Amino acid sequence: MNKTFEISTYDGVPCLWESGGGTINTGSAIVISDIFGNPKTPICVRTHGQHALIPIEIYDYIFDASHVHGVFDIMIYTVISINGDTLIAAPIAHFSKGRWDHGYCNPHLEKPLDAVTDKIKDVYRAT
């Protein structure tokens, strides 16, 4: 099922905030990559809560992850539509209960996948 994200704009450029961090037992994060799985350059960087304002385009990837007591839930979406202050993304892969349920994580997405799992375990980035 497609997911809707509310986006921000910066000088008319649609953007989405990367965010997240963890505690001892839980964590959540959003990480964004380009179509090739490369990190995108932020427009604005903060130290708490919403960490980086990232310009977003059609076909970019959004990694939406969380964990509770080390049990990970990761959804990978691709951006299919940007309309005003709304972004619509289609799921391409889902990791839950130790396995990929929906789709498969392509090898070119391993770096952003590692980044999002590191971020949700990092207590120093806690929101």
* DSSP assignment of the chain: --EEEE-EEETTEEEEEEEEEE-SSEEEEEEEE-TTSPBPPPSEE-SSSEEEEEE--TT-EEEEEEEETTEEEEEEEEEEEEETTEEEEEEEEEEETTEEEES---GGGHHHHHHHHHHHH-GGG--
pLDDT of the residue at 127: 46
Q: Please tell me the pTM assigned to this model.
A: 0.86
* Residue 105 belongs to some domain of the structure: yes
Q: pLDDT digits over 27-85, tens only?
A: 888 999 999 999 999 998 876 667 799 999 999 999 999 888 878 899 999 999 999 89
Over residues 79-102, mean pLDDT: 90
* Residue 62 belongs to some domain of the structure: yes
Res 126 pLDDT > 70: no
Q: How many domains does the chain have?
A: 1
Give the residue numbers spanning the domain of 79: 3-120
pLDDT of the residue at 124: 54
* Residue 126 belongs to some domain of the structure: no
